[in-house]
Every structure is written in structure tokens, then in C-alpha cells.
Structure 1
Amino acid sequence: MPVAPERLAAASGPRPTHRNITTHRNIETHGEIMNMFKQFGDMAKMVQAAPGLIDQANTLAAQSEAYRAQMDAQAVHALTAQPAPGNLEPIAGVDLDRYARIVKGIAAYGYDETKLPVVAGMFGVDPSAWAEAQAGWGARIQADRGVGRRFNELYAVV
């Protein structure tokens, strides 16, 4: 059954007129213009902040360079450090070479540190002397970069 044209128009709501379309486009254009002004304002704020941001970036770059220079100096020192006098003297009869051999000897046991006294015994070091030597050499290696450097050299070749 055909629908009368007036009923069809009433069912679909008011038809847009030329004036409605023009007003909608004006509102859209006005919104775009306002958005553009907001973007200009944001750019102006960014330009005003730029000198401060550049100063911050330059400060961070200078700090980074100073830190890198400090780390380089420490690396050079670690590579060239000499042990303090007396710091290579044996502890409980265990010299640094023997200590490095014992420590590396646990590789055969899957680096199980509980096997250190067993390995020390293979090198003729009794458990009490080993306990003293282990604590002493560990402390010296941590406190004296020269001793640490020398230990690393020995450990690499034994």
C-alpha cells in the first residue's frame, strides 16, 4: 500500500533547509578558526618555553659528559691501579695466586661455593686457614683496586 507524501515527510522529521545547512557550516568553520587560534596560542607558549628547554638540554648534556669523563677516569684507574704496599702479602699462608686457583677450582663443581674448602684442601690449605684467607682476600679485592686488578689477571690465566 503506497504511503502518502505528507505522511512520509512527517515520519522522517523536518527536512533541512538551505539556511540550516549554511548555519551548520558556519558553526563548523567558526570552530575550526577557534581551534586554529588555540593552536597558535599553544605554539606561542612552546616558543616562549624553548630557551628554557634548550638550557635544560645543554645542562643535561654537560652533566652527561662530566659523568662519562669520570667513568673513563675510573676505568683507566681500574686498569692501571697498583696494589697498596703490603696488600699482596699472603693471608693465613694463602697468596693471591693460590687464592685465584682455589676460587677458579670450583668450576669443576659447577661453581658450588660450598666446595671451596674441598678445593682449598687439594691445594694444601686447611678449612680454618681457608676461611680466614677467603674473608681477607675478598675484603682486600673490594677495598684495593690494584689487588682486584691483579686478582682478575691471575684468575684469567690459571
Structure 2
Amino acid sequence: MLHYYKLFWLNAFNIHGRSRRKEFWYPILATIIITMLGNLLITVLPIPELITVIVSSIFNIATFIASISVTSRRFHDLNMTMIFPTITYALTFILNILYSLFKDSVTSTSMTVLYAVLLIICLFLNLAILIMACGDGHKAPNKYGKSPKYV
């Protein structure tokens, strides 16, 4: 698992080529574990809020960028373009920005409804990505390269 998590970070800005399921799923699992441990530390230790906000923001942004890359490569392994993951991640990013900007000040019902609709759309799109990422990669070489599973 550590090998694939290391690959996740080494290829954080690489959107070319193909990634196996292991290269996609192990980093997701590792990120979930790290996030849970971080949340536990924040709860147990008296860490100043500014430090937790800075560290978690840097980790979240870096993980978000690396996730776009690995998801694009995973879709390449499925012989698909990276358009669907890019649109999904862009909408998710916009949703997170809206939440950060308006979480304390939203009193408008129309903004709440708009946010809820965007949230549901993002959830379905991300779920679709996760389901598609479960598929076995294209066995033959494709325009994105040779299959990493059969090399």
C-alpha cells in the first residue's frame, strides 16, 4: 500500500499514461486513514486552530490535485478521456469554495436550495467516478499507453 501511496505523490502532476486500480484505491484508503488520524489528533491535542486550518488546507489542496491526476490516469486505463473526472472535480471545487465563502452567512432559501442541488449533483458524479474506477482496465494498448497490469 505504501508503494502505491508513494506513486500517488510522485505522479501528483502527471495526467499522462495509465493507472491500475491499486494506484487509485490504495491512495484513497491511505488518505481516509490519514484524515481520520488527523481529526483524532485535532480532537485530543490542544493544537491551535490556525495551525490545523493551515495544515489541513495544504493537505486537502495537495490531495485534491493528486486525485485529479490519478483519476485521469485511471480513466485512461479504462480507455476513457479525462473530461468526465475534470468536470466532476471542477464542480466539486466550486462547491467547496461556495461552502467556505457562505457557510456562516447563508440565510437565503434560494442559495440553500442551489447549494443542495449542487451537492447532490457532485455526490452522484463522484459516485459514478468511483463505480467506473472499479472496472478492469483496457487489456490492450490504447492511445494512453500500454496496460500497466500486463507490462
The structure that is helix-richer by fraction is 1
Give TM-score, length-normalised by structure 1: 0.22
Which has the larger Rg?
1
